[in-house]
Structure 1
Amino acid sequence: MDTEDHAKMIIKYAGRNLLSGILFGLGIAAFIDETVFHQLLRWHHFYDKSTTDIGLISDGLFHAFSWFATIGGLFMFADLRRRRALWLKRWWGGLLLGAGAFQLYDGLIQHKVMGLHQIRYVDNVWVYDIVWNGVAILMILAGLIILFQTRKHKRKESSLDA
C-alpha cells in the first residue's frame, strides 16, 4: 500500500480510531477508579446507599462495565491495526477524551446529582471534588487539543504516522 492509499485508509477510519480510543479511555478510567478507590483504598463503593454487600455487588457490575468498554476498545484497536488504519494520535485524543468524560460524569453526576457515593467521606470533600473534576477537565482539554490537531481539513500527510 503506497503512502497516498495509506493516508486515505486512515482518513476513512478516523471516526473508528476516535471511538476505539473513547471506549478504551472510558474503560480504563473506570477500571482505575474501581481498583484504586473502591478496592485498594476502600473509600467508597459504586452504590453506597445500602449495605456493604449491595455496595460490593454494585462494584462488581461496575467492574464488568469497565472491562466490556476496555475490551471493546481493544478489539477495535486490533482491527484498525490489522487494516493498517490505526491513527495513533487520534486514538490517544479519544482515549483522553473518554477517560476525562468518564471522570467528570462520575464526579458531577454520580457524586453530586445522583448521590450514589462520594469520592471520600470526609469533612472537606470539596478538596477531593476539585482535584477529581479538575483532573477530568485537564484530560478532556488535552484530548480535545489532540483531536483538534487531527481534524480532516487541517491534516498533513506527515501527521498521519504520528
Structure 2
Amino acid sequence: MTPSQSRPAHNVWSGVLFGVGLIAFVDEAVFHQLLHWHHFYDRGTPAAGLISDGIFHAFSWFATIAGLFLFADLRRRGALRLRRWIGGVLTGAGAFQLYDGIVHHKWMGIHQIRYVDDLLPYDLTWNISAAVILVIGIVLVVVTRPSRAAVRERA
C-alpha cells in the first residue's frame, strides 16, 4: 500500500464527522422530538425552538453524509481501518456531547437537558457519559495510529 492509500487521518476525520452527525441526530430525535425535553434554542418562542431544531437536524445530516462520503472513499481506496474509524466516531460523538453539555447547556444557556428543579443528575450523566465516550475514542485513535517505522517502510 502506498502512503497515499493509507490515509490514517482520513479514517479519523471521516469517523469524527459521522460521530458528530450521529450523536446530534440521536440528541435531536430523542430529546427534542420524542421526549420533548428541550429545543436546540429555548430562549425564544416555541416557533424559534422548532426552527432551531430544524437547522440542528440539517447540520447533523450534513455531518453524517460528509462522514459517509469520506468513508466510501476510504473503502474504495482500500484504506479503511475500521478500528481507527470507530475511534473517530466515538471521539466525534463524545466531543460534540461534551461541547453541548458545557457550552450550550451551561456557558451559553441556550437550553438545558431537561427543565426540572434539580439539573445536577442530568448534567452529570450527560457530561460524564460524554467524557467516557470521548476518552474511549481518543484511546482507539491513538492505539491505531501507524507506527513511525511502518510509515518509513511505505515511503
| Post-superposition offset of 1:153 | 2.0
Q: Aligned match of 1:51 in 31, 45, 50? A: 45
> For 1:125-146, what per-residue CA distance to the aligned partner results, in whole angstroms no more than 9, with x for missing partners?
1100000001100001100111
Query: Within 5 Å, which residues of 2 pair with 1:137-148?
Result: 137-148=131-142
The answer to whether the Cα contact below 8 Å between 2:8 and 2:145 also exists between their aligned partners in 1 is: no
1:25–1:70: 8 Å Cα contact kept in structure 2?
A: yes
Q: CA deviation at 1:15?
A: 0.5
Compared CA separation, residues 155 and 146, structure 1 to 2 (3 A): farther
Amino acid at match of 1:148: V
Task: Please tell me whether residue 84 in structure 1 is matched to residue 74 in structure 2.
Answer: no
Deviation at 1:147, TM superposition (A): 1.1
Question: C-alpha separation between the residues in 2 aligned to 1:32 and 1:151?
Answer: 29
In the alignment, what sits opposite 1:120?
114
Question: Cα deviations across residues 74-117 of structure 1 (Å, max 9, x unaligned)?
Answer: 00000110111101111000000000000000000000000000
- The whole-number CA distance in structure 2 between the counterparts of 1:51 and 1:155 is 58
Alpha-carbon deviation of 1:9?
A: 5.4
Does 2:23 align with 1:23?
Answer: no
In structure 2, the partner of 1:97 is 91
Contact 2:40 2:49 in 1 (8 A): yes
Return the offset for 1:152. Answer: 2.2
Q: Does 1:68 align with 2:62?
A: yes
Alignment gaps of 5+ in structure 1: 157-162
Q: 1-side partners of 2:51 and 2:4: how far apart?
A: 44
CA contact 1:19–1:73 (8 Å) conserved in 2:
yes
Q: What secondary structure does 2:85 align onto?
A: helix
RMSD (Å), alpha carbons: 1.5
The change in CA–CA distance for 1:155 and 1:40 in structure 2 (over 3 A counts) is farther
CA contact (8 A) 1:23 1:70 kept: yes
Quick one: distance in 1 between partners of 2:44 and 2:138?
38
What is the distance in 2 between the residues matched to 1:87 and 1:24? 15
Letter of the 1:122 partner, please give it.
V
Aligned match of 1:152: 146
